[in-house]
Chain A
Amino acid sequence: MSSSSHAGIQSIAEYVPAKVASVGELHERGLLRGSPDTLRSFGFETVHLAGEESNIDMAIAAAEKVLEESEIDREEIGMILYAAALNSSSTLWDGNGGSPNGSVLQLESVPDLFKYPASIIQTELDLPNASVVGINQLGCASIFAALRMARALIVAEDDLKSVLCVSADKFPAGRHRDLAYNIVSDGACAALVCRGADRNRIVECTQVTKGALWDSEEIENEIIAAYFPTAKALVERTLAKAGLKMDDIALIVPHNVALRSWEILGRLIGCPADRIYTENIARVGHTIGSDNLLNLRCATESGRIEKGDYLLLFTFGYGSNWACMIVQH
């Protein structure tokens, strides 16, 4: 494959708030719906909580870091894909929970509806050539959709060299932080998808949406039950499309959901536990959309991955959306 006809994730950076709370502390503060013991037995210990910083602050921090570390010429970035899971992260709502009961967004006026984070990120980061697109409504799978589109656009458009994908979510303050037996952290990640990148070539990227399972509150049990069969089918489909087998995958880079659910999924897809990077589940928890990129960076830094290794990234987002990606490091 010629280096200019493929796209890869050249650089990754994350922002995780400094403030940390243990499962026990969350419980004491009334921020858990379920039992702390169950959550601990599922592998969770601490989560990160944003303080003053908004989702946009976090997005900018992660993006600034990726731009600096990659030393990319900012003029080269032709697009920003801003991916958010929570509807509240898709507008300028401050995410501090000041909204009236029952509403997600605190909007003062109609013009507020048109104040978008993606534009702010573009100007704050000084990316004059980047047009922006917001990607949401895929829950925690939003960043996968962004990476998929970044790759597709680079392949399709000759003059597009680099796309900045950013994801940030700040959970509404004062709300239960456990969702479907996972604990949610605040956080952001940013990835530079570049034409001809010399690492993390995106080999395959697949998604499944089951619109019938959109009501995450009303049919939570059906969604939980659908999770495993759909996940297994998608992983197998992605491997088949890539012409690979599970044995070819050096490491699974997961979303930080319950360790137990990864134990089960690992068995279903035939991947031994030592080839699933679960090191961040206890420490970081589930940062909504940022888990996989955060884990990919950590796994890379820890020396677990070698050049040429195939990696499989997988996530699930309400909606209900399953997403899987294979990259070659």
Chain B
Amino acid sequence: MREQSIFLTGATGAVGSELLRNLAARKGLTINVLVRRTDREPCERVKTLLGDLDVTAKLNVLEGDVCAGPSLGLDNAAVGSLQRETTHIIHAAGSTSFGLALPDARAANVWGSRNVLDFARSCASLECGAFLSTVYVSGKRRGDFAESDYGDAGHGFVNSYEQSKAEMEEMVREAMNELPLILVRLSIVVGDSATGRVSRFNAIHHAIRLFYTGLAPMIPGEPAGPVDMVSSDFVAAGVLQLLENGPSPGVFHLAAGRESCSSLEELVDETMSALARFRPEWRKRSVEKPLIVDLDTYELFVRSVEETGNPVLQGATRSIRTFAYQLAHPKVFETERAAAALAWGGISPQPSLAFYPRVIKYCLESNWGMRPC
């Protein structure tokens, strides 16, 4: 049997780093990771991510950029060898920033993915290419969102991130006619289910911080509205299982789904009680539980804050606003296909609230990534 050779983009990200750690500890496997140079060498960056992990796979770090055309910023020799050997692709690179202007979000998520698709077309031995997406390609839809559904159905999007990912999906969907591809839509990935470890802090973690500092008086949504969160270990295990054994082409939701999601009210309550539990002295600050309000009220509040010109409150409301509008469009993500494909591997999502408190504890102990933990 041919040895698997996996080409991974986005390995330094929240999800990609989990995938990398999971793959690196396997045997009889080659992993080629495409990593950007920052102020640090790509190899250096990957080494830091892996820490003291026992790396048993063959790991090659390639400096590149998914936005640098079909060559992905690699030289001809590297591209040629990848085209020959790659059996699987996981495309986890992209921009997850909710605040970008649409052209910038498109550049990262649509045009970058187009380059990876072109690369996939040139891989003679490709068995499966997994393109990571988000369940929020559903935009402002409400109600049930199935794995067979696509896009916002004309309801619009909450932010440019969602829109760019939906556009990316359209492109991948078309390519599914010619290539063995899967789209894996992730729900909100908050951290490791056992340790709470967060590899990259994002808007959700920032929102927890605003709850902690008492700068989030209200969030939009419906108290009973579902909130879907998953752990990074579930996502990593799920993506790899789908890549290896999932039927392709296909679209899968790695989400908590109807069974394991929580309500917004439960989530807010749990956030406040976990903060008090893990930081008992925090109670003295008398931070009131943020209110769950309708969208009109929230917008009125946001408008007032904008009018005051107060930079601290503006920063707080803006950061919540970029994703919180999703909460005002509650939906349940159906997970039938993914559940069926993951069942034999015994992979299933834990109830969100079973591990979420550990993530809060990790946020507190690491001071949101400022302190080694």
Which residues of A are in contact with B by a Cβ distance under 8 Å? 34-35, 38, 41-42, 181, 210-213, 221-222, 224-230, 232-233, 258, 260-261, 263-264, 267-268
Which residues of B are in contact with A by a Cβ distance under 8 Å? 213-218, 284-291, 293-294, 296-297, 300-301, 304, 307-310, 312-313, 316
Q: Is the CB of A225 within 8 A of B300?
A: no
Contact residues in B for A226 (Cβ distance below 8 Å): 214, 217, 286-288
Q: Is the CB of B293 within 8 A of A213?
A: no
- Given A224-B313, A229-B289, A232-B291, also A41-B216 (CB < 8 A): no
Shortest beta-carbon distance from B165 to chain A in Å: 32
Q: Is the CB of B304 within 8 A of A221?
A: no
Which residue in A211, A221, A229, A261 is a CB contact (below 8 Å) of B218?
A229
Shortest beta-carbon distance from A269 to chain B in Å: 11
Q: Is the CB of A264 within 8 A of B288?
A: no
Q: Is the CB of B286 within 8 A of A264?
A: no
Alpha-carbon gap, A97 to B301, bound state (A): 36
- Given A38-B307, A38-B308, A260-B300, also A225-B293 (CB < 8 A): no
Contact residues in B for A227 (Cβ distance below 8 Å): 217
Q: Is the CB of A213 within 8 A of B286?
A: yes
Which residue in B214, B307, B308 is a CB contact (below 8 Å) of A225?
B214
Q: Which B residue sits closest to A213, measured CB to CB?
A: B286
Alpha-carbon gap, A258 to B290, bound state (A): 21
Q: Is the CB of B288 within 8 A of A35?
A: no
Alpha-carbon gap, A101 to B286, bound state (A): 33
Q: Is the CB of A260 within 8 A of B304?
A: yes
Q: Is the CB of B217 within 8 A of A263?
A: no
Which residue in B214, B290, B297, B308 is a CB contact (below 8 Å) of A34?
B308
Q: Is the CB of B300 within 8 A of A267?
A: yes
Q: Is the CB of B313 within 8 A of A228?
A: no
Q: Is the CB of B215 within 8 A of A221?
A: yes
Q: Is the CB of B293 within 8 A of A267?
A: yes
Q: Is the CB of B286 within 8 A of A221?
A: no
Q: Is the CB of A229 within 8 A of B291?
A: yes
- Given A181-B308, A221-B310, A225-B215, also A212-B284 (CB < 8 A): yes
Contact residues in B for A213 (Cβ distance below 8 Å): 286
Alpha-carbon gap, A232 to B364, bound state (A): 28
Q: Which A residue sits closest to B312, measured CB to CB?
A: A221
Q: Is the CB of B304 within 8 A of A261?
A: yes
Alpha-carbon gap, A35 to B310, bound state (A): 11
Q: Is the CB of B291 within 8 A of A228?
A: yes
Contact residues in A for B217 (Cβ distance below 8 Å): 225-229
Chain A CB within 10 Å — which of B285, B294, B296 has the most?
B285
Alpha-carbon gap, A159 to B309, bound state (A): 54
Which residue in A41, A229, A261 is a CB contact (below 8 Å) of B288?
A229
Alpha-carbon gap, A221 to B307, bound state (A): 15
Q: Is the CB of A222 within 8 A of B300?
A: no
Q: Which A residue sits closest to B216, measured CB to CB?
A: A225
Alpha-carbon gap, A35 to B217, bound state (A): 24
Can you list 19 residue pairs at the A/B interface with Cβ under 8 Å?
A34-B308, A34-B309, A38-B309, A42-B304, A42-B307, A211-B286, A213-B286, A221-B312, A222-B214, A222-B215, A227-B217, A229-B217, A260-B304, A261-B304, A263-B300, A264-B297, A268-B291, A268-B293, A268-B297
